[in-house]
Amino acid sequence: MAAHPGDSKYIPGTYPKRKRSAAEIASGYVREWDEARVEKKGKDFGLVEFPATICISRKLAAGAVEIADIVAEKIGYRVVDQQILQHIAISSRLSKKTVAIFDERYPGKLRELVNLAFGEKSFIMSDYTKQLFSSVYAIAALEPTIFVGRGVHLLLSREKVLVVRIICSVDFRIQRLVSLMNISGEEAAKQIRELDAQQAAFFNEVYNKKDASPYEFDLVINYDHFKEPRSVADIILSAFREKFGLPETDET
């Protein structure tokens, strides 16, 4: 979602290069998956095969989506950030369509995956949580994806995922919002506190987690010590290729 000078409220995933809204991007993705479904209808896919996936965890307003977009451009992946995933999960139409496409390819496997990951808890999850988890599994299997946020790395097999944690100081995030949203430092700090509280509440309610252990991640990057998002993207690319045995390319 694009930012404009004078906007007063930060929306996760906001930065100037993103010109379309999360709703537009999400609808476009689901439409493309549905069109591809016609070509593959009737094919026996057997076991669910998840392509190598990148999951980026971060504090909100750290700039992770911009980094993810750089990585995605180099390896031909989709970026599904918090806002896109949230839109799919809460939109009954998009959520049902995404799950239906997955179910057609892998009949009965979605419920099996959710139950395997969460056992008895899967039967008492809220409708939103079930739709969120189902959407994650469906998206991850339908197309090579970089997920940003929503704890997606806690759902997918670690053998198939490069999990990256981007950390930075509160001052870094405040200054980023000041520059991005054209607001005061005081307002930016207030929004950061609100974002952190919302994020903590989400992880407590959905995953019953209060903290992110460093052992959850393959790579932790302190963004305070890098000047350009491209530098961080290059580190992630290198780790991705190393973990999954992918060759280097000549892309710049």
Instruction: Look at residue 17 and tell me whether its pLDDT is greater than 80.
Output: no
**pLDDT score of 110:** 78
Domain boundaries, the chain: 22-244
Average pLDDT over the chain, rounded to an integer: 84
Name residues whose C-beta falls within 8 Å of residue 195's C-beta, 6 or more positions apart in sequence: 10, 12, 59, 60, 61
- Quote the CATH superfamily of domain 22-244: P-loop containing nucleotide triphosphate hydrolases (3.40.50.300)
**Cα dist from 16 to 5, 82, 86, 135, 161, whole Å:** 10, 17, 20, 27, 28
pLDDT-based confidence at residue 124 (cuts at 50, 70, 90): low
**pLDDT score of 3:** 41
d(CA 68, CA 55): 9
Q: Considering only 33-37, 44-48, 124-128, which range has the smallest mean pLDDT?
A: 44-48
Q: Considering only 94-98, 162-166, 196-200, which range has the smallest mean pLDDT?
A: 94-98
Mean pLDDT, residues 82-104 taken together: 85
pLDDT-based confidence at residue 2 (cuts at 50, 70, 90): very low
Name residues whose C-beta falls within 8 Å of residue 95's C-beta, 6 or more positions apart in sequence: 88, 89, 131, 134, 135
**% of the chain at pLDDT higher than 90:** 40
d(CA 201, CA 52): 29
- Whether the CB-CB separation of 162 and 239 falls below 8 Å is answered with yes
d(CA 140, CA 156): 8
**pLDDT score of 46:** 60
Name residues whose C-beta falls within 8 Å of residue 200's C-beta, 6 or more positions apart in sequence: 210
Instruction: Look at residue 105 and tell me whether its pLDDT is greater than 70.
Output: yes
- The residue that leads in pLDDT, 169 or 108, is 169
- Whether the CB-CB separation of 53 and 68 falls below 8 Å is answered with no
- Whether the CB-CB separation of 22 and 87 falls below 8 Å is answered with yes
Using CA of residue 179, residue 184, residue 187, residue 190, what is the dihedral sign? positive
**pLDDT score of 1:** 33
